[in-house]
Structure formats: C-alpha cells, structure tokens
Amino acid sequence: MDIFTDLKWRGAVNQLTDEVGLQEALATKQVGMYAGIDPTADSMHIGHLIPFMVLKRFQLAGHKPVVVIGGGTGAIGDPSGRNSERVLQTMDQVMHNEAALTKQMQHLFGEENFRIVNNRDWLGQLSLMDFLRDYGKLFSVNTMLAKDVVASRLEVGISFTEFTYQILQSVDFLELYRREDVQLQIGGADQWGNITAGIDLIHRIEGNEAKAFGLTIPLMLKSDGTKFGKTAGGAVWLDAKKTTPYEFYQFWYNQDDADVVKYLKYFTFLSKTEIDALEQTVLDDPGKRLAQKRLAQEITKFVHSQVAVEEAERISAALFSGDVQELTATEIEQGFANMPSFNVLNEKVNVVDFIVNAGIDKSKRQAREDIENGAIRINGKKITDLTTEINPNDMYDGKFVIVRRGKKKYFLGRVK
C-alpha cells in the first residue's frame, strides 16, 4: 500500500489541494513537507501529536519531514480555535518552550532525514516596511476576513496582531519552499485557510508552475462526539513530568471499544493486516481488551520507550493483583500519582494510629475492625495484628508507604 492510500485508509485525510499533483510528486521524488507548532507550552499534548504522526509516516516512506518551531509566530498568537486573544508570553518563556519542544521532536523523529527549524530565523529579520511592501500588498483583506479562523472571531473581536497570523504562516511556507525544498504543508482541519493562503503566496511570488500542496487532517472526535484528548485531570501531555508514562499508557488502554480501531489507525504504525486482526478481537472477545493493550503499547513506546511500556504494565499488574511489593519507588511515584495521599512522619507508629492519622479510617474502633477483618494491606502485606508497628523506612527507599483498604482502594503515604 503506498503512503497516500495508507493515509486515506487510516482516515487521516480531511482536505487536500491538487490530489493528482501531490500523488505524482510522491511517486516520483522525495518530497519535503512540514508541520509546525508554536511554543505556547513546554510540551506537546496528544492533540498536537496528530499532524506529526502523519509527518512521521511520510518520513518512514522515504520523504523529508521538516518541523517548524514557531518562535516567531508563537510570539504573536494564533487565533485558531480561540474565542479571545492569546496572552503573550515573555521571550524567556518562549525560548524555554522552544528548547523543550525541540527535544521532544528529536525523540520522535530521530536524526536522519529530518530537520527542525525556527521561524524566528526569518520572521525576526523582517522589518515593518519589508513586511508591508513584500507581503502585505499581496493579501486581500476581504479574503482574509472570509477565512473561517478569522470569521469566527469577528463578533468577539480580533486584534490586528492575530489577524496577521495567516500572513506570517504563509511566509513560513514560502521560506521553507525556498530554503528546504518543502512542497507540502500538513496541519489540522482548522489550518486549511492558512495553508491555502501560503500556497497562494508561493504561486504569486514563484509563479503558478511552483508545486506546493496542502493537506489537513480531520478533527479528532470520540465516538460520542466529544473532543479527543481531554481527561478529568486535563490534557494528556507527552512530557513524563506532566503526564507519567503509566498515566499515558492507561489513557490509551482505557479507550472505548467504539474508538480503539480508529486510534490504532491514527496513532500506531501497525499494518492494515494487524489492525484488522485487532478489530476482530474487539468483536469476538472485547473483554480481553487486546486492541486497547496493543494501542497503549505502541503509542507509549513511540512517545516514551519500550522500558516505559514495561514499567507501565508492571505497575498495572501490581495494582490489579495488589502485589505492590516488587515495585520501585519510581514506579510507585508514577502509579500512585493521582491516588489519595497523606503525609507520614519518619518514625515508627502503631498500625491503628497510623490508619487513623492517615485519615483512612475516622476512628480507632473502625481501624481495629478493618485490621482484624483483613481489610488492610500495607506495602502489599495483609496486617491483622493490632500491635504491628509501621516503619516508613521499610520499603520504597523510605519515600512511600502504600495502604490498601478493601479490594481496590489505595492510599499513598509520602514520608516527610
């Protein structure tokens, strides 16, 4: 299956300029292509990942991906998908975010046949006079106002700064066409207007024979129509400090049967044969969640590492079985990050007092009853002796004490 047919099968093509021309180019030469991200945060979340997964597929098919970090446009603010003006960041924050995003991109794309560039390198050199004379003159205000990304903001208002964003993105495409032989821009569905504006600019300056193409990816929605990528705790980040690899793995493992095949197509590099087989397991034996497990393994390995996959699965197995004794302190930090927690003094204490002090039981009477009934496990061991002393230094490098009350309710004690 060629790359273009594969993308269509995966449902990764929303809109496309000059489909025939792009297919011919892809079949005859190595095509340069780019997707961009503005440094509005120091990590991508999984919503950002979607166009870059498509860019990675092109890389694996032998084409040349270029990632643009928007050090210039990020200082301006993209009006897309927003109902108000973006709060401008300091340049120190922008540069910090650029460095973090660059590191993530290098991990995802490797070093071969891949480029990272920063649009501040050319946008930062533009004077106001050059901008107005060389580019502003080529854009019709009427056309710019009609773009969805701008039209949606007219009622609430849009600043001239954000209004000019589409010109700057167009300049990016022109500069990459010249500097990196980039012919294809890839973006989300909301970027269609900006992408076509860039193609128009290339044709105006380089001539109508210039080969430039645009491809957008469908808006990702869950089967119930809600937005993909959000959880009760907020965004799912690629940065392990913001979303632990265990939490990342669990997000994918917990996907609904109605969505998992779509996500396997979008977020893994598995073949059609493999995905079709996993789809059949959803129909035949959904309880085993084999498709969800494979999805979680593949995307966690891609974003983090195979080691992260193994750690996530070890944590999952320990939490399910209650056997947490073999987990490391690092794995405890990951697996219990969102569990109820309490502080523990670094001193020995009777188990009854420990349970009450932790707030797990409200009274000593209830604590004694739970202990005698075998409902309390500490660091994986069932405690039934009321005289037991709890030593916070016994396990997990002296950093944590894990309490389980009943079959599933865990508490994390942080040793102070």
What is the bridge-based pairing of β-strands 213-217 and 182-188? parallel
Least confident of 7-16, 132-141, 144-153, 320-329: 144-153
| pLDDT at res. 336 | 87
At 109-119, the pLDDT tens digits run: 998 889 999 99
| pLDDT at res. 302 | 97
Report the percentage of the chain scoring pLDDT > 70.
97
Q: Note whether 369 and 399 are within 8 A (CB).
A: no
What's the Cα-to-Cα distance from 239 to each of 300, 309, 409, rounded to whole Å?
12, 15, 28
At 299-310, the pLDDT tens digits run: 999 999 999 999
What single string gives the DSSP state of each residue in 348-411?
-EEHHHHHHHTTSSSSHHHHHHHHHTT-EEETTEE---TTPEE-TTSSGGGTEEEEEETTTEEE
- pLDDT over threshold 80, residue 82: no
Residues of the binding site for L-tyrosine: 34, 165, 169
pLDDT band at 271 (very low <50, low <70, confident <90, very high): very high
pLDDT band at 88 (very low <50, low <70, confident <90, very high): confident
Give the residue-averaged pLDDT of 144-171.
Answer: 84
- Please list the residue range(s) of the chain that carry CATH number 1.10.240.10: 230-321
| pLDDT at res. 158 | 83
- pLDDT over threshold 90, residue 73: no
Give the residue-averaged pLDDT of 102-113.
Answer: 92
Number of H helices, E strands in the chain: 19, 15
Residues of the binding site: 34, 165, 169, 230
**DSSP reduced 3-state for 12:** coil
Nearest to 399 by CA among 332, 324, 318: 332
At 333-365, the pLDDT tens digits run: 888 888 899 999 899 999 999 999 999 999 999
Positive or negative, the CA dihedral 337, 341, 344, 349 is: negative
More confident residue, 64 or 90: 64
- pLDDT over threshold 80, residue 34: yes
| pLDDT at res. 361 | 93
> Which residue spans within 232-325 are E strands per DSSP?
234-235
| pLDDT at res. 232 | 63
At 371-400, the pLDDT tens digits run: 999 999 999 999 999 999 999 988 898 999
Give the residue-averaged pLDDT of 5-10.
Answer: 94
Residues of the binding site for ATP: 230
Q: Which CATH class is domain 341-415?
A: alpha beta
pLDDT band at 80 (very low <50, low <70, confident <90, very high): low
Contacts of 188 (CB under 8 A, 6+ apart): 50, 51, 216, 217, 219
How far is Cα 241 from Cα 17, in angstroms, rounded to an integer? Answer: 39
| pLDDT at res. 134 | 93
Place of tokens 């098919």: 61
pLDDT band at 222 (very low <50, low <70, confident <90, very high): confident
Report the percentage of the chain scoring pLDDT > 90.
71
Q: What is the CATH number of domain 230-321?
A: 1.10.240.10
| pLDDT at res. 155 | 77
More confident residue, 86 or 245: 245
| pLDDT at res. 239 | 96
More confident residue, 283 or 1: 283
- Please list the residue range(s) of the chain that carry CATH number 3.40.50.620: 3-217
- pLDDT over threshold 90, residue 319: no
Q: Tokens for 393, please give them.
A: 């230094």
Q: Tokens for 50, please give them.
A: 């979607």
- Please list the residue range(s) of the chain that carry CATH number 3.10.290.10: 341-415
Topology (CATH) of 3-217: Rossmann fold (3.40.50)
Say which DSSP state 2 is in: -
How far is Cα 204 from Cα 192, in angstroms, rounded to an integer? Answer: 18
| pLDDT at res. 81 | 57
3-state helix, strand and coil shares in percent for the chain, rounded to the nearest 5: 50, 15, 35
pLDDT band at 46 (very low <50, low <70, confident <90, very high): very high
Give the residue-averaged pLDDT of 8-34.
Answer: 94
